[in-house]
Every structure is written in structure tokens, then in C-alpha cells.
Amino acid sequence: MFNKSRVLFGLFALFIFTVSAPVTAQKAPTFSLDSDNGKISLNQYKNKLVYLDFWASWCKPCRTSFKFMNEIQQRYGNKGLQIIAINLDEDRASAARFLKSHPANFKIAYDPDGSTPGAYNLKVMPTSYLIDKRGNIILTHKGFKETQAPELEKMIAQALN
Amino acid sequence: MKLLFTLMTLLTISSCSLYNAAGNAFKTEQVNAWERNILARDDMQLDADPVRTFSDEHIYFSKEASTGGRGVGGGGCGCN
């Protein structure tokens, strides 16, 4: 009888453990995606502060975020910031059209199958993640408004120091 | 004691299967944020032309003298 209850208790404990375990995970999921020249993976930027952004050509706030990302890449690029913007358009042609009218001075990766956003638990377009040198997600920013730019820039500058 | 453990196990197992069933049911209906594409277009919005809606409602309320009929506060004088 003692053994049986111990087994049952073990099962119960295991259930509680499996339910509560994912809450603590803050490690940035790795990826390897196509870009205009070769593959881009998160592991290539281990000594950088990575600003990872998810965007698509049909997403309106993404247009304003591109202006912001160009600015901070220029300002903080030599201080160790690397912006990677993952495009989630199903066809690359629409992404190309967008990039023609909104040129980017940072890395663009293409994920037409949408394999990465799920791993990052993406809920809103655009969403950006700040990933430190150890590969931990230190900031998640949902959506983008021009008024939020100064606050966001302050947090990036802080993370670089 | 034995009864308590049995109950607890039953409860956890049933909540597990319920959770899975509900999870799958929602998954089939859900459009993820990165899949919106066509749904994000202006002409796919519930109110595709807000200016036109405003003008239509203005005329309707003026004619019917029923300001407030669409959930907006108002006195019913028909003057706005």
C-alpha cells in the first residue's frame, strides 16, 4: 500500500513539474535561415547584443520600425549591436518590394514557412527581442509605435553598457 | 489516504486530456499573427471605410432623429 501511494505521488509530482517547467525558460531559440548572402544563425552573433525583429511587408507598423532600426544600427553598431530582422512573408517577392522602398542597413533573414515565430511565442506583429551575449532574451517588445522609440533606445543603450 | 491519492491522480489525468483536447480544438481555428497577410489588408477590415460609415450614420441619425441608436450617447434632437 505504501509503495502504491508513493508511485501515485510520484506521478502527481511529475505532472506538476512538467506544467511549471516552461515558465522559467528564457533562452533564445536558435535558428538558421536564408538571407541574401548565405545562412544566418543566432550562433554567429554570440559576442553581440542582438535585436531580433519579426516583420512582414503587409504589416503597417513594421514600416515605422524600419526607420528606427536603421537609426539604432547606425548609432550602436560599432558598440556591439546587431539587428537581425526575420521576414515572414510567404513569397520573397513582396519582401523584396518592401525592402526597395524601405532600405535596411541591418541583416535580413527569410522565414517563409514561419518556423521561428512559434518558437519565440510571437503573438503580435512586429515583435522584437533583445538577446544578450549569453543568448538570453532580456527584453520583449510587442508592436511598434514611433513614440516608444526613445524608451526602447534607452534600454538598448543600457544593455550595451 | 488511498482514496485521496486515487482522486488526485484521476483529477490530473482528466485535466491533462481535457487540456489537450481544448488546445487542439483552438489550434485549428487560430490564425497566427505572422499568417495574417490578406486579413491585414484595409479592405478586409470589419469597417473597411470609416469615413463612409461616419457619413452614412450621420444621414441615418439625422433622418430618423434617433441619435444614440448605434450606441453613441446623445439627446435625440437630430441636430448632430
The domain that contains A79 carries what CATH number? 3.40.30.10
Strand A39-41 relative to strand A107-110: parallel, antiparallel, unpaired?
Answer: unpaired
Q: What is the pLDDT of residues B19-48, one digit of tens each?
A: 555 555 555 667 899 999 999 988 888 888
Instruction: Please give the residue range of the domain that contains residue A133.
Output: 27-160
Residue linked to cell 533573414? A109
Q: Which residue has the cell 517577392?
A: A93
Question: CA–CA separation, A85 vs A89, rounded Å?
Answer: 12
pLDDT of residue A2: 52
Pairwise pLDDT comparison (A95 vs B60), residue with the higher score: A95
> d(Cα B54, Cα B2) in Å, to the nearest integer?
67
Any domain includes A3: no
pLDDT at A97: 96
**Residue in B closest to A111 by C-alpha:** B34
Report how far residue A136's alpha carbon sits from residue A153's, in angstroms, rounded to the nearest whole number. Answer: 19
| Size of chain B, expressed as the number of residues it contains | 80
Evaluate whether residue A5 is within a structural domain. Answer: no
A12 domain-assigned:
no
User: Can you tell me the distance from the alpha carbon of B51 to that of A155, in angstroms, rounded to the nearest whole number?
Assistant: 39
Looking at the domain assignment, is residue A20 inside a domain?
A: no
Give one DSSP letter per residue of chain A, joined into a string.
Answer: -HHHHHHHHHHHHHHHHHHHGGGG--BPPP-EEEESSSEEEGGGGTTSEEEEEEE-TT-HHHHHHHHHHHHHHHHHGGGTEEEEEEE--SSHHHHHHHHHHS--SSEEEE-TT--HHHHTT--SSSEEEEE-TTSBEEEEEES--GGGHHHHHHHHHHHH-
Q: Who among A9, A88, A117 is closest to B5 (CB)?
A: A9
Positive or negative, the Cα torsion across A17, A20, A25, A31?
positive
User: Do A72 and A41 meet the contact criterion of CB atoms below 8 Å apart?
Assistant: no
Is the residue at A15 inside a domain?
no
Q: Which residues of chain A have pLDDT under 70?
A: 1-25
Query: ipTM score of the complex?
Result: 0.71
Distance from CA of A127 to the nearest CA of B (A): 10
Residues of A in contact with B12 (CB under 8 A): 11-12, 15
Query: Are B5 and A8 contacting, i.e. CB atoms less than 8 angstroms apart?
Result: yes
Is the CB of A8 inside 8 Å of chain B's CB atoms? yes
Which residue is associated with the grid cell 520600425?
A65
Please tell me the predicted confidence (pLDDT) of residue A98. 96
Domain total for chain A?
Answer: 1
Q: Which three cell numbers stand for residue B1?
A: 489516504
Tell whether B36 is within 8 A of chain A (Cβ). Answer: yes
**A59 within some domain:** yes
Q: Does A56 touch chain B (CB under 8 A)?
A: yes
The most distant pair of C-alpha atoms in chain B lies apart, rounded to whole Å, by: 75
What does pLDDT average to over chain A? 89
B41 contacts A114? CB cut-off 8 A: no
Domain assignment of residue A10, yes or no: no
